[in-house]
Every structure is written in C-alpha cells, then in structure tokens.
Amino acid sequence: MEFMTDTLRVAHCSDIHLDGDAAGMNGASGDYYREGFARVLAEIRGHDPDLMLIAGDLFDSNTATDGTINWAMDILSEQPVPVVMIPGNHDCLEEGSIYHRYDFNRISNVQMLATEVGAIARVPELGVAVWGKGMVEHAPSYSPLGGCPERPADCQWYFGMGHGIYVPHGGETHRSSPIHMQEIEDSHCDYLALGHHHAALELLSDKAFAAYCGSPTDTIGKGATYIVVDLQKDAVPELTLHAIS
C-alpha cells in the first residue's frame, strides 16, 4: 500500500495532572495545571505537527471536577491535528473513572484507547496506526506494553503508547506498571510514547526508539517538557526534547 506521507511530525505529551494540587508549585494558583496544558498545546501548535500523542495522566485523579473535564474536552477539540491518548495511573479505568463517565471519542479529532486488552487507533489520511491500552489498576501485575501486536501491514507509521515505570536491562522492580527495556527493544513500533516519569528520559538504541516526554506542569529534571519526533521514510527518526518557555 502506498502512502503520501513520507515524512511525519509527532508531538508527545504526558502527565499534565489537571486538577492537581498546586500548593507545592511555588505558590501557584489552582489554575496552574490548566495554564500549563494550554501553554504546552500552544507551543506544540507552533511546531505544526501532524499528530499528537498523550501518554496518560491528563488528569490528576478520577475526582477531577466536571468543569475541568469539560474544559479539557473543549481545548482538545480545538487542536488542529488528530490526538490519540491513553489513561494513566492517576486517571485509570477504575470504577467511577472519568473515561467511563465521559466519552472522549465523541471529540471529532480525538481517539481514546481505553480497552483493557489494547486496541489500535488509525489515522488513515496519515497512514498512521497507534496501539495502546487502558490501565484498570496500577499494580505490579499490569504490563503497559504487554500484548503490543506486530506492525500492521496496512500502515506507513506505527506508534505505541504506555504508562508505567522504566526498568532497564538487568533491573528488577516490585513497583507497579513496569515497562522493561527488553519490551521496548522487541517492539515493532517506529516510536514508543511513554508516560509516568515526570523527568524526561530518552531510550534510544539500534533496537529502540522510545522516550518519556516528562511533564509540561512539573519542572523536575530538565524542566517542564514535551517531545517532538520527526520521521522520514527509510531514515532514523529525530527526537527533540523541548522545555516550555
């Protein structure tokens, strides 16, 4: 199958934590997280991406207010590009989840991947397929990348998303939602957009192209950050970490 998209630009954002407690953010007001999300969306639009991936924790908890949820849905609907997203551990698919109560898939440019076993969202005009799944319980038994299928034959670009803690080769963890480097290297995806670590972390090798983008509302590590990935047919992708100005 031939596609017209020999180049693609993807924006990757995660861990926004809308309706979080801003008390510890240097005296920030309660609007801190909304302002941070609006700011990162504005900066992302300036890069003119073709696609945006949100890798979990858009909300700080499933008790986010209806006003904040509706605000988030409205601002996502205003983005000029397709958006694909997954839940995180803070806004997981537990009983009473935001994503049980609100249908983000009714937003015309948004696809929410929230099935427990995983699913693939498609953006046919870009030749894009995106795999991800919905976390029901943040537990050691949950594998964010578990079951990621092989690359579909009918796409030009294949992306995966996962939300959990990074475990390097030879490492062990008893913490919840582990993402092992071996799983990353075994992936058939052109890029894995990961969330959960608020400090950005690039995981690049001859077998892997993945990253944690950090958080646009937390200045830990390299600051409040997001990622832009440029892909070109038959070339190594280029990843750029941006700190919000």
Portion of the chain with pLDDT greater than 70, in percent: 95
Task: Decide if 210 is inside a domain.
Answer: yes
Task: Decide if 1 is inside a domain.
Answer: no
Render pLDDT for 127-141 as a digit per residue (tens, 0 to 9): 999 999 999 999 999
Across the chain, what does the average pLDDT equal? 94
State mean pLDDT over 86-102: 97
The domain that holds 41 is classified in CATH as: 3.60.21.10
State mean pLDDT over 218-240: 94
- Categorize the per-residue pLDDT at 172 as very low, low, confident or very high, splitting at 50, 70 and 90: confident
147's enclosing H/E stretch is none
DSSP string for residues in 180-225: EHHHHHH---SEEEEES-SS-EEEESSS-EEEE---TT--STTSSE
Looking at per-residue confidence, does 24 or 10 come out higher? 10
- Categorize the per-residue pLDDT at 170 as very low, low, confident or very high, splitting at 50, 70 and 90: confident
Q: What is the dihedral of CA 57, 138, 201, 229, to 10 degrees?
A: -50
Task: Decide if 117 is inside a domain.
Answer: yes
Length of the chain, in residues: 245
State mean pLDDT over 100-114: 98
Instruction: Please tell me the predicted confidence (pLDDT) of residue 21.
Output: 85
DSSP 3-state of 55? strand
Structural domain that includes position 202: 7-243
Give yes or no for a contact between 75 and 85, defined as CB atoms under 8 angstroms apart.
Answer: no
Render pLDDT for 30-49 as a digit per residue (tens, 0 to 9): 689 999 999 999 999 999 99
Q: What is the dihedral of CA 244, 114, 167, 21, to 10 degrees?
A: 50
The token duo for 155 is 């796409």
- Categorize the per-residue pLDDT at 29 as very low, low, confident or very high, splitting at 50, 70 and 90: low
Instruction: Please tell me the predicted confidence (pLDDT) of residue 28.
Output: 58
Task: Decide if 205 is inside a domain.
Answer: yes
Task: Decide if 104 is inside a domain.
Answer: yes
The distance of Cα 170 from the centroid of its chain, to the nearest Å, equals: 26
Count CA within 13 A, CB hemisphere, residue 147: 13
Task: Decide if 183 is inside a domain.
Answer: yes
- Categorize the per-residue pLDDT at 151 as very low, low, confident or very high, splitting at 50, 70 and 90: very high
Task: Decide if 2 is inside a domain.
Answer: no
The structural domain count of the chain equals: 1
